[in-house]
Amino acid sequence: MYCDLKTQSLIGEHGTLNLTEGDEVTLKLVMLLEGECEGLGPIKAARKYGFSKARYFQLKQAYLEHGAMGLHSKLRGPKNKYRRTGELIRQVIRYRFLDPQASAEVITQKLRQTGFVISVRSVERVIADYGLQKKTLSVSSSE
């Protein structure tokens, strides 16, 4: 059995099985099968599927520990809003309602004085996320 990457199909002795487009788990599993069971070897299998040798062994270890579920890609970056906590968001909203004319810089300064570690940009994001921007009057032209 081998995988034809151009046609995105598994080809075996008795037939062909088309892969679902974007199915990364199956491709990673087939890479491991070809590398470990079909004699292609780790380096050639990794190269064929666009992975480094190190990544091949990481995926092999993930498979050995968690099975096919271990081959799912994990999201990178922070897993939560560690700066913009629920309490901080409530405080930004509170300060905005207490003084609708206060700028993001002023709100940031007030938050820092009460012990929050926050940037002006994070305060601006909270204000934008909750639609708390200052309203500006626009003059409409009448003919």
pLDDT digits (tens, 9 = 90+) for 2-39: 788 888 888 888 999 998 888 899 999 999 999 999 99
Nearest alpha carbon to residue 130 among 83, 90, 81, 82? 90
In the chain, what are the domain boundaries?
Answer: 2-71, 86-129
**Rounded distance between C-alpha atoms, residue 51 and residue 45, angstroms:** 8
pTM, two decimal places = 0.54
Sheet holding 2-4, edge to edge: 2-4, 9-12, 15-18
**Rounded distance between C-alpha atoms, residue 68 and residue 125, angstroms:** 38
In tens, the pLDDT along 35-52 reads 999 999 999 999 999 999
